[in-house]
Amino acid sequence: MYAREMVKQSLPLIVFCGFGAIVAGSTLGVMIDLIREIPGLIVVIPAIIAMRGNISTAFGSRLGSAYHLGVIDADNLWTEELKQNILGSLILSFFVATIIGILAYVTSIIFHVYPDPIKLISIVLLAGIISGVILTFMTIGIIYLVFKRGYDPDNITGPALATFGDMVTMLCIFGSAVLVEGIL
């Protein structure tokens, strides 16, 4: 019976995740000209997508564990635990985005690609922070909906956040690159 319930909860989401991957890949296809204009941007994309996926899914897993332990529930979601997790997630996003920007610059130099360091690090920071804020609140929304429906958050949050993370992060990288390219 448990396997049937898990398939019922997860299968529609897994199908949606396939479409989400197509959206993320299509966004990358639209970014071809930006990637040519901003050397080093291609180095950033896998790292920042991985960062967002890891931070968001870890955040979702922590909330799922808090739900299973009875620390939070749908009627008592805004606890001190949730606030601390939000703060930790956003601070981690800022620091990891900074490190990714610096490492992307260094890696680009090693491969004889010479990006503007301010431009590259600004794009990573902006995309990391914006996607972090969006995905943090998206995580809370997903967790809330999962609780309300009575589903097991472990079946839903991982795939949902990985897919939303890819889509949101790619759009944030694209938007940040366009914005920074226009400003700098």
CATH number for the domain that contains residue 162 = 1.10.357.20
What pLDDT, on a 0 to 100 scale, did the predictor assign at position 87? 93
Distances (CA, A) of 174 to 6, 39, 65, 81, 84: 35, 14, 33, 33, 30
Average confidence (pLDDT) over 83-95: 91
- pLDDT level of residue 119 (50, 70, 90 thresholds): very high
- Our count of domains for the chain comes to 1
For 94-115, give the DSSP string.
HHHHHHHHHHHHHHHHHTT---
Greatest mean pLDDT among 9-13, 95-99, 148-152, 158-162 lies in: 95-99
Residue 28 pLDDT grade (very low, low, confident, very high; cuts 50, 70, 90): confident
Domain hosting 95: range is 2-183
Question: What does the mean pLDDT of the chain come to?
Answer: 85
pTM of the predicted structure, to 2 decimals:
0.85
Quickly tell me which residue has 């890891």 as its tokens.
54
The predicted structure's pLDDT at residue 121: 92
Whether the per-residue pLDDT at 13 is higher than 90: the answer is no
